[in-house]
Every structure is written in structure tokens, then in C-alpha cells.
Chains A and B, each alone.
Chain A
Amino acid sequence: MDPTTTTFLCLLALMPVLYMYTVGVVATRFPALRNKRICLLIAHPDDEAMFFAPTMLALTRPETGNHVKILCLSTGKTDCFHWRRTHVNIH
């Protein structure tokens, strides 16, 4: 295997490690919301998990002191999809 391919493959393999390190830095050093009353406005019940999971998980950590409400403007019911929602506790 030539050096370029080797380097490339090493980087690819190390990516999860690099990512995990970055998450730690972001969580501690980046701007945050603390002690805020927050409302997440979504259209369909699964939006909070499909799109906003990182936001929800970060903002609801107990040490942030945030209070988060979700306001969902539909049940998302259509002919193909019917919601059967169980109570969600994502912790």
C-alpha cells in the first residue's frame, strides 16, 4: 500500500477518536446556555429526536440549570404515518 492510502486509511480509522475528543472540548469550552427558560418549537413529534437530539441532550443536562419545554404544532398524523407515542424520557 502506498503512503497516501495508508495515511488516508489511518485518518479514517482515527476519526471516531478525534471526534470524541472534540466533543469534550465543545462541551466544556464552547458558548453555552445556562439557567435559561427554553422552548423548542417543532412541527412533528419526532422532530425533537430526528433533528434536535444533540440540542435536547445538551440543554437538558442538570448542571446547566435550564428549563426546556417542547411545543409541537401537530400530531403528525397522515394517511401513511400514525403516531403512537409513548411517554418519552430521553434520560
Chain B
Amino acid sequence: MKAVCWMGKNSIEVQEVPDPQMLNPRDAIVKITLTAICGSDLHLYDGFIPTMMAGDILGHEFMGIVEEVGSGVKNLKAGDRVVVPFAIGCGNCYFCSTQQWSLCDNSNPNAHAAEKLYGYSGSGLFGYSHLYGGYSGGQAQYVRVPFANVGPLKIENNLSDDKLLFLTDIFPTGYMAAENANIQPGDTVAVWGCGPVGQFAIASSFLLGAKRVIAIDKVPERLELARKQGAETLDFSQIDNVVDVLRELTGGFGPDACIDAVGMEAHGPAVGSFYDSIKQTFRMEMDRPTALRYAIQALRKGGTLSIPGVYGGVIDKVPFGAAFGKGITMKMGQTHVHRYLRPLLNLIEEGKIDPSVIITHKLPLSSAPEAYKTFRDKQDECIKVVLDPWEQVAA
């Protein structure tokens, strides 16, 4: 089969690889009908996540048709249409049984490595380095899905793939980010980052009762999409001090909640950002927490900072005194996708949200190498790339 392979920093190749085999009784093999490139894939592309090895198959947002199931999978059969959460949960451990699926005890074969870094290991992830299990990802034609009786959601409607694909990761991620922000009716929420996760965070904030959402980015088409969703927008490249502008906009309070949908590869002018870039170049610092610093500074007293943006290592110069002095709450982490599949599918089926509006590029799988670059550099007004594993490039 064809698969998108990481071959080094900024090096992506589509290679011919063996089809996946069943390895455990609770496995299923899925034929992938649509997949996507995630913002967090860019951290792999840019070489910021350790334990990537040449040949690793990327991709954690995918859906398709079940090809075969193992003896331990009774609730799915060949031919079922499924969306598959990007985090792998066993369904039996303390964390899965308390709905904290992305913290599963039992799905990371390399848990010992994550334990060295973090103290304890979270769940395995599809296509996201050997630190997270070394599972082959879904930017391919087929994929092996472990614990298939737990993760995949069976789809029984006739909606097209592009309306459903984002249930695998970014829609639940934006939604959980808004939930984590503890939004009360009438609140003002500030969202840093108008990429796909930010867009879903904006939509979800309104769904959860926010009165106003202020979205912050500098890319024109992303700000425009945010406005289409009802957000007020700030272009941080044109503003001296976002904190002061937010103070003005919120009657002197500051936003009630802030969402950092940017994470470890933030751009933008900030005290320390030049310093971060130097340190990152020399691998002395892994993560650039620019948006995080602003979000802490801007948040109102007693507010909640919600962090869906991915961080991997350690960060420098975070205004923790401000966080403490204002008594803020922080909530963060990898998305517990399984929790949100049914409720969010209902929203899509009821027509309350159409996730496909963020798609700007639909390409064949073989275009993945260029697509990664286009997405990373935000060229061609790119917001979200989906890949068709079976479409042939036009001759």
C-alpha cells in the first residue's frame, strides 16, 4: 500500500509499504477513505518531537471502512464505516473507565520511555513517534487499529467523509478546549490561534454559552474564517500590546477564559520570543510558549486558561507569578476523543455545525510532501489539508 513516511526533518516521502496485519485479538484493519494533516504533525515535520525514525508512517486523523476484525472485536464487522479516535484507549484501565481515554495505561508499548520524560505515560497515539508507541499512522491506504472494540465510532448516516473526518481529533479537541475553559453564560473567551483547532474552539465556545469570542492570529484567511463564525478578531502583527487591547475590549476585566490553541511552535513578537528561537535552534529549549505567556497575562483574575495546544518538553520564562497572583485555573491535555464522539456526531447530524468549512485543500495522498510544506508555511491560503488515499494524480 501507499503510505506517507517521515524520512527526517522536513522530509516526507510517499512510499510503497506492506499492508498492515492483525497482531492482537482486539485489532481491526481499516481501509482508509479520507485522512488529514494535523497542526501537530508539523511538530514532527519540523523535527521537534524526539524518537521519530526514518520510515515511520504519519497520520492520526483518519476514517474508513472496516476490512477485518480480530476475535476480540464483537461490535464491528467488515464493511462497517468508522471514524477512529487518534488516541488509543484500552477501555479497561482506571483512566479509560473514568473517561480519560488519552491517559490510557495500557496502549503505549513504549510506556517506559514516556515515563522517563513525564513520570507516567499517557496513551499510545497513531503516527506520533515512538515515545507514543510507534504505531503506524493513518496517512495511508490501510491501518491497523488496536482495541477496535473500544475506539472506532460506527457511522450509520449518509454524510460525506469531509463532514465527519474531524471527529477523529480536531473537533473534539476544540470542543474539549472550550469545555475546559469553564465557560459561563455571557462570558468573553479569547482564543489564540485560528488554525483548525482554534476554529473549532471558537465554534464550541459559542455552543457552550460564550457571549463573545475574540480570536487572535495574523493570517488573513484564518482571521476571516474566525469572523465568519462570529468571532471578533485581533491581528497581533498590527497590535503593540494584545493584553491592553483585550483589557479595553472587555471593559477592564480581561477575558473570562483564554484558550491557547497554538502550542509549542508559536510565532509572534513577545518578550522572550527571539530568545526562544535561538534556544530552539540550538535545541536548548524545545517549546516556544509565546501564546501561553500572553494568555496568562491577559486572562482576568480568577479566570480559566485552557490549553489544547501541544507542548512536549520544557518551557522558559513563563509568567507564573502572574498566574498565581491572579488565581487562575489551568486545564490542558490530549483530547479524550472517545468521550465526545457521539455528542459531536449528533451536532453534525442535526446540522448545527459543518466541520468541512475549514477544508481549503483536498489532495491525493501522493501530494503529501508538498502539502506538508504548504500547510506549514500557510501558503496558498491553506487552513486544512485533507488527503484522499485512493485518488490518482491527474496525468
The answer to whether A and B come from one shared complex is: no
Give the interface of B toward A (CB within 8 A): none
Which residues of A does B touch, CB under 8 Å?
A: none
